[in-house]
């Protein structure tokens, strides 16, 4: 699979440059829209498009007016991160962050399943036990507030 991250090409709009950068910290469409809006407000940005699924932002900008590091500062001020470096360290850091996020999501899913099975059994089979609603509440609370959090 060919990686298109941090690719550069000239685009027709004058002296603008099209470049793609990975973005971290996005979890929803609202986050992507916020990043896109923040980048578009910067002087020298011709266009910006954020892809939530691939976590990539595609920029057309004028290098004479704005640098990738200035764009990164704007994105960081909005609460996200834009990886502008092409170095191996940056790529390794991004891969490490993605791996940690994957492990956390896997742990949350396993925990939710481990609590959901007894919750189902209590709610369907043992529903006549006195105070079973407190047990169901105790089982459901971590599912909703920990496993369900982003």
Using pLDDT thresholds of 50, 70 and 90, give the confidence band for residue 150.
confident
Mean pLDDT of 87-114: 87
Residue 60: pLDDT above 70? yes
What is the tally of structural domains in the chain?
A: 2
Cα–Cα distance measured from residue 123 to residue 126, given in angstroms and rounded to the nearest whole number = 6
Q: Quote the pLDDT of residue 24.
A: 86
Cα–Cα distance measured from residue 128 to residue 73, given in angstroms and rounded to the nearest whole number = 58
Does residue 30 lie in a domain region?
Answer: yes
Three-state secondary-structure class, residue 17: strand
> Do 110 and 70 have their domain in common?
no
Using pLDDT thresholds of 50, 70 and 90, give the confidence band for residue 127.
confident
> Do 98 and 72 have their domain in common?
no
Are the CB atoms for 44 and 61 separated by under 8 Å?
yes
Does residue 3 lie in a domain region?
Answer: no
Does residue 17 lie in a domain region?
Answer: yes
Last residue of a domain, one of 69, 86, 103: 86
Residue 10: pLDDT above 50? no
Higher pLDDT, 147 or 5: 147
> Do 116 and 52 have their domain in common?
no
Can you give the residue range of the structural domain that contains 135? 92-147
Does residue 1 lie in a domain region?
Answer: no
Does residue 57 lie in a domain region?
Answer: yes
Give kind and range of the element (H or E) at residue 112.
Answer: helix 88-124
Three-state secondary-structure class, residue 8: strand
Q: Which CATH number is 28's domain given?
A: 3.30.70.100
> Do 81 and 121 have their domain in common?
no
Paired sense of beta strands 81-82 and 45-51, if any: unpaired
> Do 70 and 118 have their domain in common?
no
Q: Please name the residue that has the structure tokens 């011709």.
A: 46
Mean pLDDT of 98-119: 94
Cα–Cα distance measured from residue 59 to residue 72, given in angstroms and rounded to the nearest whole number = 12
In the chain, count H helices and then E strands.
4, 5
């Amino acid at each position: 699979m060919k990686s298109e991250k941090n690719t550069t090409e000239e685009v027709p709009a004058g002296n603008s440059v099209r470049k793609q950068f990975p973005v971290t910290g996005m979890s929803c469409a609202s986050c992507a829209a916020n990043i896109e809006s923040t980048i578009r407000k910067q002087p020298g940005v011709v266009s910006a498009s954020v892809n939530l699924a691939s976590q990539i932002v595609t920029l057309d900008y004028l290098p004479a007016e704005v640098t990738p590091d200035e764009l990164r500062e704007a994105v960081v001020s909005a609460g996200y991160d834009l990886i502008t470096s092409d170095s191996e360290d940056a790529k390794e850091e991004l891969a490490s962050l993605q791996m940690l996020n994957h492990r956390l999501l896997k742990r949350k899913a396993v925990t939710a399943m481990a609590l959901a099975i007894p919750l189902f059994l209590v709610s369907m089979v043992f529903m006549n036990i006195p105070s079973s609603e407190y047990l169901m509440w105790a089982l459901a609370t971590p599912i909703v507030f920990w496993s369900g959090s982003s």
